Amino acid sequence: MQTLMRKITERAAHVSVLGLGYVGLPLAIDFAQAGYTVTGIDPDANKVAGLQAGVSHVQDIDHVELQEVVNSGRLRVTSDFDALREVDTISICVPTPLNKTKEPDISYIVAATEAIVERLHPGQLIVLESTTYPGTTDEVILPRLETTGWRAGKDFFLAFSPERIDPGNAEFRLKNTPKILGGVTTQCTQVAYHLYQQIITTVVPVSSSRTAEMVKLLENTFRAVNIGLVNEVALMCARLGLDVWEVINAAATKPFGFMPFYPGPGLGGHCIPLDPHYLAWKLKTLDYRARFIELADDINTSMPHYVVTLVGDVLNEFQKSIKGSKILILGVAYKADTNDLRESPALEVIRLLQQKGAEVFFHDPYIPEVDIPGLRATVLNETILNWTDCAVITTNHRAYDYEWIVEHAPLIVDTRNATQYVKNGYEKIHKL
């Protein structure tokens, strides 16, 4: 333990990151910038080739900062898992999707663990960062690592530290976002804390890896449930003839006891739509039903259907049907000002409109193409806006000139309140 702690202090520790996506790549770069020798490992040969050439596939990572650490030799990327034999620390940053029945798929974590088991040596630190259900670290990873005969807290060190990356957030990056950390033993927590303390301003140790796993799920379940609540409030306001955006903005003036959340066409991203299901699944194994999570999921997953119904109602006012109408989707990323398509509700809105016979086109300044049969990208100009029957704003990118869009489109369905500051043509706009 003391040997590894000393190597970390002296920047002599060889750090590795397994999985070089939007979580792993920033982590690898930050360690390299802090003076460590870093090996990034990813099975995607195309991704590795791009990184070796200094080309970032992650929007928040600038090519220049990537090239600097690659050219300096502080960051090496490879698809060869045998590189794990040489390293002192391993941060696991692999995907944790849900399967078709919304149950956790931890196959990537298991595969990463098996790769580590084959190359584990005394003195190594392993930290799981991938979001998962409470108990994964000590029930799934720990027993596999201990098949080597080595023991956690004595021969190697194991901890869980959930990622808190927020794509597109320029204010809170890895360094200044407090990091939760819990080891499977006290010694494991101490070593992992010492490592992450070198690159992150505030590291928050908790009593166990299970606690750290639960913290992450609470954070995103909190958001999913509150978004579900405000989405239902939007449905209520529609029935009552009220403007939900006005209601929320007025409520947000209260300086205590209220935190504003905003409705939309549904949930997107890798975390919020998925993470609560990890918790709900775990609780099912303990004969407990997570009712808030189930209800919030029902409401949130129904929002694309509500958007399509709203589009149909708006067109109907002008003696048109969805079938045969030319509908322009503005923004397909799940979040404003990013190129992230993961779980984007815009994709479900598109599919539903197509099923009803609409001719659907899309424009997104960050995403040139989407793999949906029959869907085509289009330029955004006056001719296209005049030609379309209805434009649906599903992502509120700041790059859009909403005043100009409203001026030239015949009808607007705004699911994000992106047109709140538009001064003219307000009669064309129909909000969620």
Specify the residue for token string 């002296």. 10
CA dist 234 and 189 (Å) reads 44
Pairing of strands 89-92, 75-78: unpaired
Starting at the earlier edge strand, list the strands of the sheet with 412-414: 376-377, 359-363, 326-330, 390-393, 412-414, 429-431
Mention every residue, 6+ apart, whose C-beta is less than 8 A from residue 324: 357, 358, 359
Residue 89 phi/psi, 5-degree rounding, is -130, 145
Please state, as a whole number, how many other Cβ atoms lie within 10 Å of the Cβ of residue 215.
18
SS3 2: helix
Q: 16 has which bridge partners?
A: 39, 90
CA dist 226 and 219 (Å) reads 11
> What DSSP letter does each residue of 171-198 carry, written as one string?
SS-TTTS-EEEEESSHHHHHHHHHHHTT
Q: 69 has which bridge partners?
A: none
Q: Long-range contacts of range 276-280, CB-CB < 8 Å, 24 or more positions apart? A: 276/217, 276/220, 276/221, 276/224, 276/225, 277/98, 277/102, 277/103, 277/104, 278/96, 278/104, 278/131, 278/132, 278/133, 278/217, 279/133, 279/134, 279/214, 279/217, 279/221
Which amino acids are annotated catalytic? 271
Residue 144, Cβ density class (10 Å: 0-12 exposed, 13-18 middle, ≥19 buried): middle
Mention every residue, 6+ apart, whose C-beta is less than 8 A from residue 62: 56
